[in-house]
Structures are given as C-alpha cells and as structure tokens.
Amino acid sequence: MNILETKGLYHDFSGLEVLFDVNLQVEEGERHAVIGPNGAGKTTLFNVVTGTYQPSRGKVFFKGKEITGAKPHKLTRLGVGRSFQITSTFNRLTTFQNIRLAILSKKGIRFHLFHKVDKMEDITKETEEVLKRINLDRERNMPAGMLSYGKHRSLEISLALATEPDLIMLDEPTAGMSRDETHYAVELIRRLTEGKTVVIIEHDMDVVFSLADRITVLHHGEILATGPPHQIRQNQAVKDAYLGETEVERA
C-alpha cells in the first residue's frame, strides 16, 4: 500500500514552474530517497506535500486520505514528521526543552494550563529517554543554538522523529556535515526509523545508495525515474542528467 502518493502535482512560483506533473508513490515501510540536481524541485516537493505551500494543481494522499494543502500542524497530528534543510530548532531553549515540546505534542498536551510542565514526570522521563537515544543527554541543559553543528543537526532530525510519525520526511539531513558526522547521522536515522516509512532528500550518493530501498530522480521538476538503487545506477537518462554530472564534478 502507498502511504504517500501525489497525483499530477504542479507548483509554480509566479509563473516559474518548479514541479511538473509529479506522481510520487511511497510504499509503507520503505526508505525512499529523492535525488536530483540543485533546483530540481526536491525541497519544493517536500513543502507542497507537508503544507508549507498549496500546489497549483494536483492532489496529495496520505494513507489513502487526501491531504492536499492541509496545514503543517494537522499533518503532524495525522502522522507526518519533517526535518528541514536549514536547521530549524528552538535555539534559545535547551536541548531538553526542544525535545519536550515534541513529546508534549505527541501526547496531545497542547492547551494544558493546570500543571507545571516541570512537575509532569512522565513527560520529563520520556524526554530524557529520547535524549539518551540520540546521545544528547550530556547537552541536556545547553541552548540548542550553542550545540556543535553535527549535534544541532541530530537535534533537528530528532525533533522530526520525536512525535513518532508514521511517515518521516528528511530534507538533506546530512547537509554540511563532516564525514564522521554524516556516518553517525546515517546510523542514527537507520536506528530511529526502524520499520518506518522515510522519504529522504540527499545529495551524498553514498548515503543514498546505502540507505534507500527505492530512489526517485527529480529533474527540472519532473520525475525522471523511480526504482531500486541498482536500476537507477544503470538508468541512462539519470546518468545524463545527474549522476554523470556528479562524477564529472568529482573528477
């Protein structure tokens, strides 16, 4: 069954077509990578799916239910989590408080006014468990804005995961990380998304080919190919448009 499906999705920024008839299908439980050169429309696709923008045309389905243009907080409550390409955390709050907000949301505690949040022990306990799982328990009381880059990215990914979504959309989770940090982040993603559906935008081909079950290649706002990694690697159109280019760049 497809957990996420887009049908004939179009999006334009005042005349500039960024998405052109995108039919994306993500199966439940798979790790699906979206790749493509800069400006291919990958992040726009994420933004349209997760409700940042309304699509100009087309429909988005989540678990068979139409969610086109639904607001981000509604989608999160349905079970869609998302991380951002540009780290987006609560920078003046501590790491603990960052994760705690996600836990509060997960538990549906949104307008609670009768208890002090510090005294809600189940929340504190669960938050600390999450921090331990993502190895940020030593940075518990540090403002998120003061974390090292790699740790800050981990927090970013963890915020998307802490609400325990069924579908996780990661927008370049390893952007700007060093080799070691990337390795660590990939392990973290692998560990925390066990058995869940993940859609991931990634530029690092090593990460893509080691992590993804299926790959969709986006080029000029159109889907060029979709398939398992070995097929994509051999696809001539993809080589011409994207993979070839990277090899030239590397050389």
Partner 1 sequence: MKNNNHKWILWVVVFIILAAFPRVFGIYYINFFAAFAIFSLYAVTLNLMLGYMGVLSFGHAMFFGTGAYATALALTHIQGFPLLPAVLVGGLAGGLLALILSPLLVRVTGTAFAMLTLAFGQLIFVLALKYREVTGGEDGIGGYPIPPLHIPGVASIDMTNQINFYYFAVAVVAICLFILWFYTQTPFGNVVVGVRDNSVRLDYLGFNLSQTKAINLIVCGAFAGIAGAVHALLQKLVSTVGVLDISTSFAPIMMAYIGGVGSFFGPIIGSGVLHLLEDLVIRFTQRIGLVNGVIFILVVLYAPTGLVGLFGAAKAKWFHRGKAS
Reduced to 3 states (helix: H, G, I; strand: E, B; else coil), residue 154 is helix
CA gap 44, 194 in Å, rounded: 26
If you ran DSSP here, which 8-state letter would residue 143 be given? B
Is residue 176 a contact point for partner 1 (CB under 8 A)? no
Is residue 237 a contact point for partner 1 (CB under 8 A)? no
**In the range 94-123, which residues lie near partner 1 by CB under 8 A?**
97, 100-102, 104-106, 109-118, 120, 123
How many residues sit close enough to partner 1 to count as binding (CB under 8 A)? 37
Please give the helix or strand (H or E) that residue 207 lies within, else none: helix 205-211
Buried b (16+ CB within 10 A) or exposed e, 15-39: eeebbbebebbbeeebbbbbbbeee
Radius of gyration of the chain (CA): 19
Within 8 A by CB and 6+ apart from 236, the residues are: none
Residue 84 beta carbon to partner 1: minimum distance, rounded to whole angstroms: 8
Using CB under 8 A, which of the segments 18-26, 85-93, 184-192, 237-245 binds partner 1? Answer: 85-93
Is residue 19 a contact point for partner 1 (CB under 8 A)? no
Is residue 91 a contact point for partner 1 (CB under 8 A)? yes
Among 160, 177, 185, 199, binds partner 1 (CB under 8 A): 160
Strands 57-62 and 65-66: antiparallel
Using CB under 8 A, which of the segments 3-11, 13-21, 88-96, 188-196 binds partner 1? Answer: 88-96
Residue 81 beta carbon to partner 1: minimum distance, rounded to whole angstroms: 8
CA gap 125, 135 in Å, rounded: 15
Among 68, 127, 163, 197, binds partner 1 (CB under 8 A): 163
The CA-atom distances, in angstroms, between 166 and each of 42, 130, 194 are 21, 17, 11
Question: Toward partner 1, which CB reaches closer, 47 or 235?
Answer: 47
Is residue 146 a contact point for partner 1 (CB under 8 A)? no
Is residue 85 a contact point for partner 1 (CB under 8 A)? no
Among 159, 188, 207, 232, binds partner 1 (CB under 8 A): 159
Question: Toward partner 1, which CB reaches closer, 102 or 215?
Answer: 102
Residue 187 beta carbon to partner 1: minimum distance, rounded to whole angstroms: 24
CA gap 106, 159 in Å, rounded: 11
Question: Toward partner 1, which CB reaches closer, 98 or 193?
Answer: 98
Question: Toward partner 1, which CB reaches closer, 20 or 90?
Answer: 90
CA gap 14, 242 in Å, rounded: 27
CA gap 123, 39 in Å, rounded: 41
Q: Which residues bind partner 1 (CB under 8 A)?
A: 50, 71-73, 76-77, 81-82, 84, 88-93, 97, 100-102, 104-106, 109-118, 120, 123, 159-160, 163
